[in-house]
Structure 1
Amino acid sequence: MTPGPRLVVVDMQRVFADAGSAWATPGYATAEAGVRRLLPAFAGRTVFTRFVAPAEPAGAWIPYYRDWPHQLRPADDPIWDLTADLDAQGAPVVTATTFGKWGPDLAVATAGDDRLVVAGVSTDCCVLSTALAAADAGRFVTVVADACAGLSEADHRRALDAMALYGPLITISDAADVLSRVGS
């Protein structure tokens, strides 16, 4: 990867984009437009993440999937695919069975700079979980509010407000500001 901040695109997948999905994110299209706006400025510095169900839920995931049994599908099920408009185009894709994607795989995929720019869905779940863990691991995190979406506008705002409490480890910005700082 080339030097500079890394763009981490969290869980922009069919399961969250499809309005008929039990896990649909209502503002997905808005988040996707924001992500598409960011991608050219982060060419060679983008990592996508993907949520998939575990083969065998364990611990607290057992009652979780009791509520969502129809989502217990294999990792290669098309519902877990990135949406076509955001095909990874050769960028690394980190797949995890957890809401938060920060861990050894994402740390390696974003190595070379301590700055992450995070966008995706849902702000109040996977984005929040990823940003907090990355910041806790010592990365500076910028969450791009207009390139994220929550399960509701209120949930989106609450998650952004919670992450803002972690300043200066986490900052909340918008795509225009991020693009002005990365030279696009």
Structure 2
Amino acid sequence: MSRISPPWLVVVDAQRIFADPASEWYAPRFAETVEPIRELVAAHEGRVVQTRWVPPHAKHGSWVPYFERFPFADRSPFDPIFDVVDEIAELRLPHTVSEPTFGKWGEHLRDVVGQDAHLVLAGVSTDCCVLSTALAAADAGCLVEVVADACAGSSDDAHERALAAMELYAPQIQVRR
């Protein structure tokens, strides 16, 4: 497998909804990911995409019971709770992809990075959006690296279980610890 272009860093959902201790979706080690993410951004020389989870406009199928369970997140996609945290926003990353899905691999991200991209993933939560993005991207033919210390899960145990699950997909997904 030849890779002509350098990898793309994808900063998955570094948003207030995951950073705020008052949020039901708080990732307890979120703050610990900020410096590793900033270092990765510097190392990827503009080949960086940040993603944002936003609620779907119309709730259908499995999203109906999901929002019954998490009504606090059923807000306008423009609500400040969905903003990228200040420490990442101040980096003025060149690309943003907002999706109403846990996994961010899809048409919009592919349009930025290319079909068979080499992706380096960082962000939150390891056990939801990072995992969903990694699996879909690998399935589509991307080489995926997940930087463990630049990710945070809903708990330490969930973080480790998600990393272990992604390690099962080697060599398509590689976890850097």
Place the TM-score, normalised by the shorter chain, in its bin.
Answer: over 0.9
1:170 corresponds in structure 2 to: 173
**Structure 2 residue 147 is matched with structure 1 residue 132:** no
Residue matched to 1:28: 30
Amino acid at match of 2:170: G
Checking the alignment, whether the CA contact within 8 Å between 1:6 and 1:113 is kept in structure 2 is no
| Corresponding residue number in structure 1 for 2:49 | 47
Percent identity reads 50
The one of 31, 36, 39 equivalent to 1:37 is 39
Summarize deviations over 1:131-166 as a string: whole Å, max 9, x none.
000000000000000000101111101000000000
Structure 1 residue corresponding to 2:109, chosen from 84, 103, 106: 106
Q: Could you list the runs of 4 or more consecutive aligned residues of structure 1 that deviate by over 3 angstroms after TM superposition?
A: none
> Equivalent residues in 2 for 1:84-163 (5 A)?
84-87=86-89, 89-111=92-114, 114-163=117-166
Q: Which residue of 1 aligns with 2:67?
A: 65
Equivalent pair of 2:134/2:144 in contact (CA under 8 Å)? yes
CA distance in 1, matches of 2:60, 2:148: 33
Contact 1:122 1:149 in 2 (8 A): yes
Task: Tell me the TM-score normalised to structure 1 length.
Answer: 0.90
* Mapped contact 2:48–2:93 kept (Cα < 8 A): no
- Could you tell me whether the CA contact under 8 Å between 1:26 and 1:151 is conserved in 2? yes
Structure 2 stretches lacking a partner, 5+ long: none
Distance 2:125 2:151 in 1: 7
Please tell me whether the aligned partners of residues 128 and 159 of structure 1 are also in contact (alpha carbons under 8 angstroms): yes
Equivalent-residue separation in structure 1 for 2:127 and 2:135 (angstroms): 12
Deviation at 1:43, TM superposition (A): 2.2
- Tell me, yes or no, if the aligned pair for 1:4 and 1:113 is still in contact at 8 Å: no
Contact 1:100-1:127 within 8 A present in 2 as well: yes
Q: Is the Cα contact below 8 Å between 1:55 and 1:72 reproduced in 2?
A: no
Alpha-carbon RMSD: 1.2
Range with greater deviation from structure 2 (28-37 or 97-106): 28-37
Provide the secondary structure at the position in 1 that maps to 2:146.
Answer: strand
Aligned length: 172
Distance in 1, Cα, partners of 2:78 & 2:51: 14
